[in-house]
Structure 1
């Protein structure tokens, strides 16, 4: 299929849009996490996500071209129930809980940078459990990014009243690792059932556990009134639950179709930079030269890491075809 210049441009625009949507997760979560306690906010988020993704599925399942990639049937094999629940509870619930907790101690900038380390952590877990290997260039990119992260952690941090920066870094690191640990399993489920269907069931598992937690921990659901009393918080929750956790998949699929998976994935390396800039513009977080340089270097390191990985994958695929 021939792709026109206009379609290529729109494909790149969609890929960058996804990077922006996912990159502002910390910024969107910040006001919500300051208004509602983290555990209750997790429950609100995934109830909203279930509603949002159900609406998305109702549209995508009617389209033959979309349902092929996003899922056309809600039927799930029994042997995958536990795997879906694990991805939902750990990869979504634990991820969100620790992410919200971190925002009480560090700024959205620091949060976004650590979350942007997903590619490194995902490969590390792949090395531990799936015999993946990092080459010298990837190791170099990883070490460079680790040095940058250390520089950011010991440098000027956006101060949060009553917060402990070190604890915030621990929380967001746990959040990032929870998502990275389930990355390969989530990918296999998405390949089998479609990304929207597999994610919908993951969100349902978190929401179902959330209902249990409501009674076990006696969560104060009346806090929803705090959100409902503010148009801004309502908009942020809807965007968090349906935009970030739902509609972004359709935008990403569009970019895959127009410019390819590899190029579209490359655009996600902009996430730390996007989060940093948006946090400065919307939350009034501090912009300093040192931090700007560090964030930029991390984006470059992520680009080198994923770019070289793509080249290596292409070479291996070519060799296998020749064999």
Structure 2
């Protein structure tokens, strides 16, 4: 195997790894959200993420080959403080909070399918605020996905004791809206400061906000002992905070270098399918032809949406993010 083929193979492996990491967010979050209240879990997640990204920054800031992309300085212009805070609080904090809340009402399968709609919602915000346009194929892909979401919501749902499926779908929809409405602003900050530095600053902002909310609501920070007493929960929190919200960005950057942004982004369309399979295998959620058909249709629609988008100049590439 020559070097070019190796680079392509390793690039695709990296891209698929990111899809798998981000695709299991709902599965990883489910046990944690059942053990700790959602607001406190948001705080724990982003404290862990700050620690993880701080380590990554220290390891990469001196490497001139990659620090241009990841960031080489923690200095932020004062004019961007508010942008960083809003991206952190809304795009990360509310995204995670609503996501955790939804898992008390719906399964990780349903959660992952709705989260997979992120590219469509991101483009809608771009159409409203940045004069982006969708072509006919993209509109068709969106409508097909919307019908699939409706079919999922009225079809067989994983039963959650004491849960209200409609409320769960509302929460996860708010989660998607929170991260999608800040996508373009987060992208501009990443271009300016580097992906690791910009995300680290956002995580610090949401960690501070989370601490203020936990204290003001009188929530119990000693709930961390519940996590620390269970090796599985410790591993899940570290993976949620450091793997999903940290290491995955470095892996994705590697895939960008090897196979390009467009091809790497297309691999992320596998996220709903990955989440579905892992939820069935690890959480014992329902496996049915009905849900399988819906998930595969959404994956195909996402592929068509992004594949055609990469050939146009009217819309920038949209990368779903489940930081």
Task: Sort the TM-score into its range (normalised by shorter chain).
Answer: over 0.9
- Secondary structure, counterpart of 2:106 in structure 1: coil
Q: How far did residue 53 of structure 1 move?
A: 0.4
Counterpart-to-counterpart distance in 1, 2:129 and 2:308: 21
Q: Residues 176 and 20 from structure 1, CA distance in 2 versus in 1: closer, same or farther, beyond 3 angstroms?
A: same
Corresponding position: 1:251 with 2:243:
no
Q: How far did residue 214 of structure 1 move?
A: 2.6
Note the alpha carbon deviations across 1:50-83, whole angstroms, 9 max, x for none.
0010001001102111101000011111000000
Identify the residue that residue 321 of structure 1 maps to in structure 2: none
- Secondary structure, counterpart of 2:205 in structure 1: helix
Counterpart-to-counterpart distance in 2, 1:7 and 1:130: 35
- Secondary structure, counterpart of 1:9 in structure 2: helix
Identify the residue that residue 172 of structure 1 maps to in structure 2: 172
Identify the residue that residue 19 of structure 2 maps to in structure 1: 19
Corresponding position: 1:92 with 2:67:
no
Corresponding position: 1:269 with 2:276:
no
- Secondary structure, counterpart of 2:65 in structure 1: helix
Q: Residues 314 and 89 from structure 1, CA distance in 2 versus in 1: closer, same or farther, beyond 3 angstroms?
A: closer
Identify the residue that residue 70 of structure 1 maps to in structure 2: 70
Q: How far did residue 215 of structure 1 move?
A: 2.0
Q: Residues 297 and 315 from structure 1, CA distance in 2 versus in 1: closer, same or farther, beyond 3 angstroms?
A: closer
Q: How far did residue 213 of structure 1 move?
A: 1.5
Counterpart-to-counterpart distance in 1, 2:313 and 2:214: 46
CA contact under 8 A between 1:158 and 1:285: conserved in structure 2? yes
CA contact under 8 A between 2:19 and 2:267: conserved in structure 1? yes
Counterpart-to-counterpart distance in 1, 2:220 and 2:95: 21
Identify the residue that residue 320 of structure 2 maps to in structure 1: none
Identify the residue that residue 115 of structure 2 maps to in structure 1: 115
Identify the residue that residue 237 of structure 1 maps to in structure 2: 237
Identify the residue that residue 132 of structure 2 maps to in structure 1: 132
Q: How far did residue 212 of structure 1 move?
A: 1.2
Q: How far did residue 313 of structure 1 move?
A: 2.4
Counterpart-to-counterpart distance in 1, 2:219 and 2:60: 35
Identify the residue that residue 162 of structure 1 maps to in structure 2: 162
Runs of 4+ in 1 over 2 A off after TM superposition: 313-316
Counterpart-to-counterpart distance in 2, 1:150 and 1:64: 48
- What TM-score, normalized by structure 2, do the two folds share? 0.96
Q: How far did residue 111 of structure 1 move?
A: 0.2
Note the alpha carbon deviations across 1:15-72, whole angstroms, 9 max, x for none.
0000000000000000000000000000000000000100010011021111010000
Note the alpha carbon deviations across 1:216-270, whole angstroms, 9 max, x for none.
1111011101100100000000000000000001100110010001100000000
CA contact under 8 A between 2:133 and 2:315: conserved in structure 1? no
Counterpart-to-counterpart distance in 2, 1:302 and 1:151: 17
Note the aligned Cα RMSD (angstroms).
Answer: 1.3
Q: Residues 237 and 315 from structure 1, CA distance in 2 versus in 1: closer, same or farther, beyond 3 angstroms?
A: closer
Counterpart-to-counterpart distance in 2, 1:265 and 1:221: 38
Mapping of residues 263-302 of structure 1, within 5 Å = 263-302=263-302
CA contact under 8 A between 1:3 and 1:258: conserved in structure 2? no
Q: Mind listing any 5+ residue stretches in structure 1 that lack a counterpart? A: 317-323
Identify the residue that residue 45 of structure 1 maps to in structure 2: 45
Q: Which has more helix, going by share of residues? A: 1
Identify the residue that residue 146 of structure 1 maps to in structure 2: 146
Identify the residue that residue 58 of structure 1 maps to in structure 2: 58
- Secondary structure, counterpart of 2:66 in structure 1: helix
CA contact under 8 A between 2:49 and 2:241: conserved in structure 1? yes
Q: How many residues align?
A: 315
Q: Mind listing any 5+ residue stretches in structure 2 that lack a counterpart? A: 317-323
- Secondary structure, counterpart of 1:4 in structure 2: helix
CA contact under 8 A between 2:132 and 2:314: conserved in structure 1? no
Identify the residue that residue 35 of structure 1 maps to in structure 2: 35
